[in-house]
């Protein structure tokens, strides 16, 4: 495959940034999107140019590090797929592809396609945990959990913290991420003692980081590689309301 790439290049946080056009040739349809960028970067290095900076780690769709806006869609148009799991066979030979970083004020660009997502870490630090009294571990299966609660908690726990939901939201809201992190604990017995204080602390931290409010546009769930559903946000809002009316 031969492709034309229009890639956001920004040397650092203070640089204004610009789109730069590159031609890439002889790309295998079996390559992942990141492998295609690796090919371009190897060429840029050989030519003495600065390679394109982008985040990645597992390349298996589980770590949440990768993420870029491809042709205007966070992680690209392939549903429920991270950028690292997106393969070039989903593009036409000769296609023009635009590649940009997540764009949201709380995710400032570090360089090129790399953004600072430490705001997510601070939301987790505000309450994304359970406090466990010291002592021996309880016996397995000693705390019964309803199957549908366990399933819903597990589904919420599949959030990989990639930030695509924020990038896709017209309000730059982190509600889907925060709700997923709240929900995977709030549905389980271990998460009950701190349930309301957790929701309040994490939502307040989300707001203080500068993320926008949710207006139910649903763009977040449409791009989420893990298919976190919109009703997760409703559950978070209910807990937040209860926490503030106590």
**Binding partner of residue 203 among ligand SF4, ligand FES, none, CB under 5 to 8 Å per kind?**
none
CA 137 to chain centre: 33
Closest CA to 76 of 168, 200, 159: 168
DSSP track, 115-126: E--HHHHHHHHH
**Which of 99-133 are b and which e, b meaning 16 or more Cβ less than 10 Å from the residue's Cβ?**
bbbbebebbebbbbbbbebebbeebeebbbeeeee
Binders of ligand FES among residues 34 to 63 (CB under 6 A) are 56-59, 61-63
**Binding partner of residue 56 among ligand SF4, ligand FES, none, CB under 5 to 8 Å per kind?**
ligand FES
Q: How far is the CB of 75 from ligand FES (least distance, A)?
A: 9
Closest CA to 51 of 113, 115, 116: 113
**Binding partner of residue 59 among ligand SF4, ligand FES, none, CB under 5 to 8 Å per kind?**
ligand FES
**Does 56 participate in binding ligand SF4 (rule CB under 6 A)?**
no
**Does 103 participate in binding ligand FES (rule CB under 6 A)?**
no
CA distance 122 to 120: 5
Which range binds ligand SF4 by CB under 6 A, 15-23, 96-104, 192-200, 220-228? 220-228
By CB under 6 A, name the binding residues for ligand FES. Answer: 56-59, 61-66, 82, 84, 160
By CB under 6 A, name the binding residues for ligand SF4. Answer: 159-165, 176-177, 180, 224-226, 228
């Amino acid at each position: 495959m031969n492709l034309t790439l229009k890639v956001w290049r920004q040397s650092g946080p203070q640089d204004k940034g610009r789109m730069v056009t590159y031609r890439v040739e002889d790309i295998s349809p079996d390559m992942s999107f990141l492998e295609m960028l690796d090919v371009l970067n190897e060429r840029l290095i050989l030519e003495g140019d600065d390679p394109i900076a982008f985040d990645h780690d597992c390349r298996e769709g589980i770590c949440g590090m990768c993420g870029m806006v491809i042709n205007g869609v966070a992680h690209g148009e392939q549903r429920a797929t991270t950028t690292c799991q997106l393969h070039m066979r989903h593009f036409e030979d000769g296609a023009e592809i635009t590649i940009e970083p997540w764009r949201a004020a709380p995710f400032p660009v570090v360089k090129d396609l790399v953004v600072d997502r430490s705001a997510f870490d601070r939301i987790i630090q505000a309450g994304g945990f359970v406090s466990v009294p010291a002592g021996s571990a309880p016996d397995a299966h000693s705390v019964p959990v309803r199957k549908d609660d366990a399933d819903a908690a597990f589904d919420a726990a599949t959030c990989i913290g990639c930030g695509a939901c924020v990038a896709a939201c017209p309000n730059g809201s982190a509600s889907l991420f925060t709700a997923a992190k709240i929900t995977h604990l709030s549905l389980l017995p271990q998460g009950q003692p701190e349930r309301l204080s957790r929701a309040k602390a994490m939502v307040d931290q989300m707001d203080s980081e500068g993320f926008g409010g949710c207006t139910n546009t649903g763009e977040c769930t449409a791009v989420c590689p893990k298919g976190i559903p919109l009703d997760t946000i409703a559950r978070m809002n209910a807990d937040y309301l209860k926490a503030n009316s106590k």
